[in-house]
Homo-oligomer: A and B are copies of this chain.
Amino acid sequence: MATIKDVAKRAGVGLGTASRVIAGNGSVSEDAIRRVRKAIEELKFRPSHAARVLQKGQSQTIGVFVPLVHGSFYTPILHAIYTTLRASGRHMVVDFGQSLESERQDALEGAEFLTDRGCDGLIVMATALTSADIERIAERQPRFVLLNRSSARFQDRCFNPDHRAAGAAAARALCEAGHRRLAVIEGPKTSRDNTLRMRGFEEALGAYGIDAARLARARGDFSPESGRAGTRELLERDGSFTALFCANDEMAMGALSYLGQAGVAVPGRLSVMGYDGIDLSELTVPPLTTVLIPWREIATNALNHLLNLCYGSALPVERDIPAQVLWRESVARIG
């Protein structure tokens, strides 16, 4: 591989001049520019990224950690970040966790990995992080933002939907549609956002005279499979509820799948409601009524904030983008 030295030699200029042409800053004569460009072409020169990072201490790269590669939830968020980032001329390196159970550890390692790789800033999406974990990340890489995890100490770097309000909205939607006997499939215990939305859900019930303690509950792990299992369990325990709220759309899809096979009409006999508003939720039969969380927008704003932090940009950052119930056909209005 040709180096900048070779380029300089071939173009008959000094090292500095060659570098300036490549970087496009400093003043260089038209003639020198032409010669250097030609040499680059001829030698197929490509600057060494490693050498550059070593020298400049900057990589024009943002690191992103998400807990899972597969599944339908995280990738649209990555997509949103990626698109915005490319538009600003920077790059993205992603690291993934292995499973939701190991999310905490994975995120910690991921943040280290990405920092080591010379990322100028980090977007970490991991609800399971403890405050100490966050401090630890901050210590090694002060330029970071958190997605879906709030922290009093780093409040301005936290970007999350208002899960509590969104959970409440889900409950209200179901109650307004006339449902009174409700069941829920929660997310895993480690998921702080699940806790929040469930709290919101339960709190909203009071206004309709429903005792939260009488809610039929099952716990899943956000996977479709656990949605199937949870639904079966709930039904076997006591099938008298008329509406089922799932803590995310993938579990709701599992529920729909189970109900379809069990011959339970949706929404005829049982209504199903999801959460998140992933793209696929539109494709189920019947189309899933869900709470649309503006994940893409939230992620984009988090990125903008990070860009401001890292490169002194002045991108607009919006917070508090509201969630809204997306009425489709899996919830019936009764009573």
Contact = CB atoms under 8 A, between A and B. Distances in A.
A152 interface: no
Contact of A75 (B51, B70, B98, B140): B70
How many copies are assembled? 2
A116 interface: yes
Contacts of A112: 46
Interface stretch (A187-195, A211-219, A282-290): A282-290
Given A49-B117, A70-B79, A79-B69, A254 B279 contact: no
A49 B118 contact: yes
A24 interface: no
Interface residues on A, range: 35 or more
Residue from A47, A140, A260 whose CB has the most chain B CB atoms within 10 Å: A260
A235 interface: no
A257 B283 contact: yes
A71 B91 CA distance: 21
A130 interface: no
B279 A257 contact: no
A256 B54 CA distance: 53
A226 to B, nearest CB: 12
A194 B224 CA distance: 29
B98 A83 contact: yes
Given A69-B82, A283-B257, A287-B257, A118 B50 contact: yes
Nearest to A86: B98
A78 B69 contact: yes
Contacts of A93: 93
A98 B82 CA distance: 9
A94 interface: yes
Nearest to A94: B94
Nearest to A282: B257
A72 B69 contact: no
Contacts of A70: 75-76, 78-79, 279
Given A93-B93, A224-B279, 17 more contacts: A46-B140, A50-B50, A50-B51, A50-B53, A50-B54, A51-B54, A69-B78, A69-B82, A70-B75, A70-B78, A70-B279, A257-B285, A257-B287, A260-B285, A260-B286, A261-B285, A261-B286
